[in-house]
Amino acid sequence: AQHFLARSQAHPELGAYLAIDEDATLAQAKAADMRLAAGTAGALEGLPLAHKDIFVTKDFPSTAASKMLAGYRSPFDATVVSKLADAGVVTLGKLSCDEFAMGSGNENTAVAPVGAEAAAPVRNPWDTSRVPGGSSGGSAAAIAAGLAPAATGTDTGGSIRQPAAFCGITGIKPTYGRISRHGMIAFASSLDQAGPMARSAEDCALLLSAMAGPDPERDSTSLSAPAEDFSLQLNQSLEGLRIGVPAEFFGDGIEADVRTAIDAALKEYEKLGAKLVPVALPRTELSIPVYYIIAPAEASSNLSRFDGVKFGHRAKEYADLQEMYTNTRTEGFGDEVKRRIMVGAYVLSHGYYDAYYLKALKIRRIIANDFQQAFKDCDVIAGPVAPSVAWKIGEKADDPVANYLADIFTLPASLAGLPGMSLPVGFGAGGMPVGLQLIGNYLQESKLLNVAHRFQ
Ligand code: GLN
């Protein structure tokens, strides 16, 4: 823990951490030492890990990278945080992300990182002029730069897989409901899912085993499927494995350098005994408009709790209650968050609900059905995580639609609630890492991790 704290403090230029508290970390490390000495060690005893600042924590501030929650302290730990603590994990601090997890480049952040005066984007350690991806950009950058051996992330539409790909690390978004959402600051509740990010599939398997499991008292959408030991299947042979390759993931949108790296990875899998089979995901393009209706709709509802009354920021100047709400939300939310709240309120409003929201829900179901059709012919689906490598900081900052379009390959699995992961398979333009995406059927995390591990 001391090693990673020192490294983290030595690299403020990456902007990866929003909170470090040496005393809190070392107190946890001491408790771990005592459990090790007493022979009561958990499965991950003493492992240092940092949490995305979307998970609430008692020992550190919890901000979701928003002014709305700057300096906020939660009275309780998220289930993910307490489960990892029960396994012996020592918390290194809180990691930057896009505000309320809305973004693809970790540029939408409103809280100053450790060692900085003002809010700043996270930088990609492979090339600090580029984004690390988002929204779990702090998690991916910290692992890639050796500031933490592992981290938690959340993925609503790609926020674990895409930053993992951009920073050359491994991350898995499990089946929706595998991991409790209790204490995860909500963005879009029907899509939000936590997951581990680390240097390898094996590390992810060990972490996922500690994070997963039912939480019926606190998250009514958590699945009843018991937690598994996700490391048991890692060494299965891939002989005869059918890898589905959707043509829609290899069309015009994908850049040539990414395509070359992905094609080479698929060849590697053939050498390992797998068979490539063509599958169709014909509604891939529609996943962008569908997601950018459903996610903002849910966000507009979830974020209504930030009204200046119970917690978080409250405007100093106002004449009456209505003005207090308005000024608080005007000051507290960043531009992208406001944009989502407006889009969400619009698509849910009378007269537009049927035209937009309800239609999006129907297409979401068709997208899920398309996957079930594809899984009749294959065991896992493989393709790129993103159409390009990490872009330059600022390049897409003023263009929300350009950011949304870059999510095309991660959104389909999110809308279907399927597990998906990213593993580093090569390099593209500018020597930047390229990630291969593996998508499995429901509850097939062990299979995905096995397929990734054999490559690594
Ligand atoms: N980039 C997507 C968005 O901005 C996904 C974010 C996420 O998965 N949290 O909504």
pLDDT tens for residues 226-247? Answer: 989 999 999 999 999 999 999 9
Catalytic residue among 52, 67, 83, 447: 52
| 231 catalytically annotated | no
pLDDT tens, position by position, 247-297:
999 988 899 999 999 999 999 999 999 999 999 999 999 999 999 999 999
**pLDDT value at residue 444:** 98
| 52 catalytically annotated | yes
Q: In terms of DSSP bridges, do strands 90-95 and 48-52 run parallel, antiparallel, or are they unpaired?
A: parallel
Residues in contact with ligand 1 by the CB-under-6-Å rule are: 101-104, 135, 155-159, 187, 295, 407
DSSP-derived secondary structure letter, 392? B
pLDDT tens, position by position, 368-415:
999 999 999 999 999 999 999 999 999 999 899 999 999 999 999 999
CATH topology of domain 2-211: Amidase signature (AS) enzymes (3.90.1300)
What is the distance between the alpha carbons of residues 124 and 166, in angstroms, rounded to a whole number? 8
For residue 398, the SS3 value is coil
Query: What does the pLDDT average to over 112-118?
Result: 97
Ranges of each domain in the chain: 2-211
Whole-model pTM: value is: 0.98
Which of ligand 1's atoms lies nearest the C-alpha of 187? 9
φ/ψ of residue 337, rounded to 5: -65, -45
Mutational pocket test of ligand 1: of 102, 108, 404, the residue with most ligand atoms within 8 Å of the beta carbon: 102
φ/ψ of residue 250, rounded to 5: -125, 25
